[in-house]
Amino acid sequence: MDASISSQARQPGGTAGAAAASCAAVLVAAPASGQGKTTVAAALARLHARQGRRVRAFKCGPDFLDPHWLALASGAPVHSLDLWMTGEADCRARLHAAAAESDLLVIEGVMGLFDGDPSAADLAQRFGLPVLAVVDAHAMAGTFGALAFGLQNFRDGLPWAGVLANRVGSERHGQMLKDALRDPSQWLGALPRDARFTLPERHLGLVAATELGDALARLDAAADVLADTPLGRMPVGDLPQVRFDTSLSEDEPQAVPPLLAGRTVAIARDAAFSFIYPANLDVLTALGARLSFFSPLAGDALPACDAVWLPGGYPELHAQALSACTALRESLAVHAAAGKPVWAECGGMMALFDELDLQEGEQVHRLWGLLPGRVTMQKRLSGLGPQQLSIGGHLLRGHTFHYSSCETPLAPAARTARPGATQAVGARAGEALYVHGPVRASYFHAWFASSPQATARLFGAMPIELESHAAFDQA
């Protein structure tokens, strides 16, 4: 491993600044999804956290599920890093703040190392984050060396930490994998196939750690095995040290105006509505809002509030329970009838339609009826990728990821667009934004920090002022 890698060196023309912080850091990546990045990243964070070290974990790209595991492992909130959605200045500021108070930063990549635009490799090069490659080697021998070599050398100047084999069958298998490397010093060890630390999955990704009674035991089992590898035995001081310098950014995050001062935002939060970025809560607080959480699944009443946020999640897994929330359904109707805003995001929007069809008309549940129409679950992805929405002249960035579709007589008030897309005729349509009285709803997941001003409009601080996207409706 390189003893010291400076993020300043990755910035052409950068000069040293006073506001710098150094910390051990690695970016856990892989050649593809499903290789075990979350298991390794969480095990590494858990191993050092339970030894008393201060660990902060981050997740590359849009993701609500992997951060549950990383937060459990590290004992600290997990923020997203994405050079487009969150922006370079936001990434730099979060890394710098974490490095200033931590012994180790663990950043989990997204998809394969070079997949996406921007990719995990882009983030690694921008901030000098050494890549720890995780490779599922269960059906592999000599090719492991070729794959590791390709990941390290595909792009010039990529910071590199080494490679760890996952789902290895035996000690002899592990030795074959190590022998396949051109440089044996790149070997960071092997994790076996072991049901004790398998992280279960479902249609949107990993099952959230909060849903499993043995989640911490799974992480401890993985950390125990990792402790016997070269990576696990390495003192934190011998891990690559990365310097984060906020003075290098030309576009620092701006102060957030208190546009929601004096307002209370009620936020649904439970297993059905769990897709909440901690940074989004921070933005609402910075805007001056008071946050009041409630659980529909627990039968909570709607708190006294000026606005409601129904985040995404898994309403389809709890449709029967949500259908039975008659008191909440009625209080939401009263809230909307009073002209108070509701922002409903993906799963939150699904809960607001008249009906949710789970199985081709054979399993239909009545839901909360603030939006006319029906949501139908599908076996294939209906939407995936980065999206942006213009509100009142301010651009709100985010993403979409869902397995359902909706049928409604409502016409979209606007549509999201992919990064760099225009309203030219023939452009691919983005996600619909429905406005029905004070209800604003979309499959679009918003990253509030990308535009606090647009966020404040969603929660009623001022008229929403959506831009027309008629061209998208025609596409």
Quick check: helix, strand or coil at residue 435?
Answer: strand
Please tell me what DSSP assigns to residue 248.
G
Quick check: helix, strand or coil at residue 395?
Answer: strand
| Buried-state track 88-114, b at ≥16 Cβ within 10 A, e below 16 | bbbbbbbbbebbeebbbbbbbbbbbbb
93 with 65: CB under 8 angstroms?
A: no
| Buried-state track 415-439, b at ≥16 Cβ within 10 A, e below 16 | bbbeeebeeeeebebbbbbbbbebb
d(CA 215, CA 296) in angstroms, rounded, equals 24
d(CA 277, CA 70) in angstroms, rounded, equals 13
d(CA 289, CA 177) in angstroms, rounded, equals 54
Task: Spell out the residues 6+ positions from residue 155 whose beta carbon is closer than 8 angstroms to its own.
Answer: 114, 121, 125
d(CA 457, CA 393) in angstroms, rounded, equals 11
Is 23 a known active-site residue? no
- Residue from 305, 325, 346, 406 carrying the catalytic annotation: 346
3-state SS record for 259-302: CCCCCEEEEECECCECECCHHHHHHHHHCCCEEEEECCCCCCCC
The C-alpha torsion from 255 through 455 and 328 to 63, rounded to 10°, is -90
Please tell me what DSSP assigns to residue 18.
S
The DSSP code sequence of 169-198 is --HHHHHHHHHT-SSGGGEEEEEE--GGG-
Q: In what helix (H) or strand (E) does residue 26 lie, and over which residues does it extend? A: strand 20-29
Catalogue the active-site residues. Answer: 346
